[in-house]
Amino acid sequence: MKLRVLTEASPKLFTAGLILTAALMPLDRLQDLATAFPYAATIAFLLMIQYPAVVLLTRRRVRLSPIIALAMGLPLVSAAVTSASAYSQALAWSTTALLVFVVVRGWLAAQFISRGQLEIFERAVLIVAALVAVFGCYQYVGDVYGLSNAWTGLLASYSSTATYPFPRVQSVALEPLYLAHYLLLPIGLMLVRALRRQWRVHWLERLNLVLVLTVFLLTLSRGAILGLVMSLVVLLIGARSWRLLWYIARYGLAAIVLTTGFVAWAGSVQKQSTVGIFAGHAVDLNDESARTRYDLWPQAWEIFRAYPLDGVGPYNSRLLVHDKEPTADATAVAKLQPLNNDYLAYVAEQGVVGILLVLPLAALVLMALWAVWQQRFVHPAGPYAFAMIGMAFEANAFHSILLLRTWIVIGLLVAGWRLFRERSKA
């Protein structure tokens, strides 16, 4: 009797785990959600992982995909292998444990999510994105009005009293760049939903699109903005729809006008030409932040040449870049400047072993992207293809391998590919 009740409740618990995951995805600032009260990330993990356990216990006929399991599992094997000979094994193994925590949730979504659950998840993402964007607007307005950082939630380095005469919105994210990275997903969701529904979109969702795009621009994160442009170009070419071009142009222009208004208003308060400063930074690819990356990136190849086979271990590249001795102090290590390039960091940290073991996942992602392209983005994986393209481009100047949303987007891209294939065979 108890097993029957658990079997019936299992899909609902899995859905609850997905909704909680959607709420957690933008919260990079709270990195201890799994290990500190209320243990939200751990609860989401347990809610999702109980479903495959029930499937195995009841021997229910669920078609498990060895391809998905292999492709998403091999990067974990790579992390474990390279941790065994890492420069700092304590740091490498703790990083591998975190990687398992996020990758398994991505695999659960890829393997077990249903069409109905995917729709519920997408609605949850759009609601959460709206709340995140509203809070971001509050941050901007509050900071310009002179509210303290304790009230706005902005870090001091992103307020209008720091580098620029206007705030850089970070909302609930760790930094503006993290916020923009997250917002690629709801932007993709809203654009692909409009394409699927032939523009029959509720006015609230259109308003949400403008608001999210505005907050995205107010982050002033150049890597993310370039990633969004890349995603939009691929979407427009792939969808081959003039109406989509008009839809994007109309609401994109509304977001640009709103952003310009926000920035100009800050200038009127600060008595500076903020619009020019904003635009100048957006196109300045040689400022201090960019030059820091240019100085660090060549060092990745030096590390790879010194440790070509299995690298220096997960998360260890920042130790060698800064000539630091191995330490068990995770807080001290986290403060070290990373390479800010996922690809270079991966090569330096996991070497040839990592490159070989990630190839199946790369192939699976490319297969899913090709399937979306063939269906002109009107595909269950369409929104995740959009987000994946932007995130993959942004990864050239960012570090996102350990972020939950990175693996959820990968997992749901693969899930959409799986759901489409299952429907085609039915």
- Where exactly are the structural domains of the chain? 68-290+330-425
Q: What is the pLDDT of residue 3?
A: 55
Check if the beta carbon of residue 343 is closer than 8 Å to that of residue 396.
yes
Q: How do the pLDDT tens digits run along the chain, 426 residues long?
A: 555 656 678 889 999 999 999 999 999 877 677 777 788 999 999 999 988 888 777 766 667 789 999 999 999 999 999 999 998 898 899 999 999 999 999 999 999 999 999 999 999 999 999 999 999 999 999 999 999 999 999 999 999 988 888 999 999 999 999 999 999 999 999 999 999 998 899 999 999 999 999 999 999 999 999 999 999 999 999 999 999 999 999 999 999 999 999 999 999 888 888 888 888 877 766 777 677 788 888 889 999 999 999 999 999 988 888 665 555 455 566 666 778 899 999 999 999 999 999 999 999 999 999 999 999 999 999 999 999 999 999 999 898 999 999 999 999 999 999 999 988 876
Q: What is the pLDDT of residue 240?
A: 93
Contacts of 308 by beta carbon, 8 Å cutoff, 6+ apart? 351, 352
CA 153/CA 143 separation, integer angstroms: 9
Which tokens is 53 given?
A: 């356990």
Contacts of 366 by beta carbon, 8 Å cutoff, 6+ apart? none
Contacts of 292 by beta carbon, 8 Å cutoff, 6+ apart? 337, 340
Residue 181 is inside which H or E element, if any? helix 176-196
Q: What is the pLDDT of residue 87?
A: 86
Longest Cα–Cα distance in the chain:
71
State residue 87 phi and psi, 5-degree precision. -60, -45
Beta strands in 218-337 (DSSP E): none
The three-state (H, E, C) secondary structure of 9-77, written as one string = HHHHHHHHHHHHHHHHCCCCCCCCCCCCCCCHHHHHHHHHHHHHHHHHHHCCCCCCCHHHHHHHHHHHH
CA 103/CA 355 separation, integer angstroms: 17
State residue 256 phi and psi, 5-degree precision. -65, -40
Check if the beta carbon of residue 118 is closer than 8 Å to that of residue 380.
yes
Q: What is the pLDDT of residue 323?
A: 65
Residue 425 is inside which H or E element, if any? helix 404-425
pTM of the model: 0.94
Q: What angle do CA 39, 336, 98 make, to 5 degrees?
A: 30
Q: What is the pLDDT of residue 283?
A: 74
Find tokens 């990592």 and name the residue.
354
Check if the beta carbon of residue 338 is closer than 8 Å to that of residue 348.
no
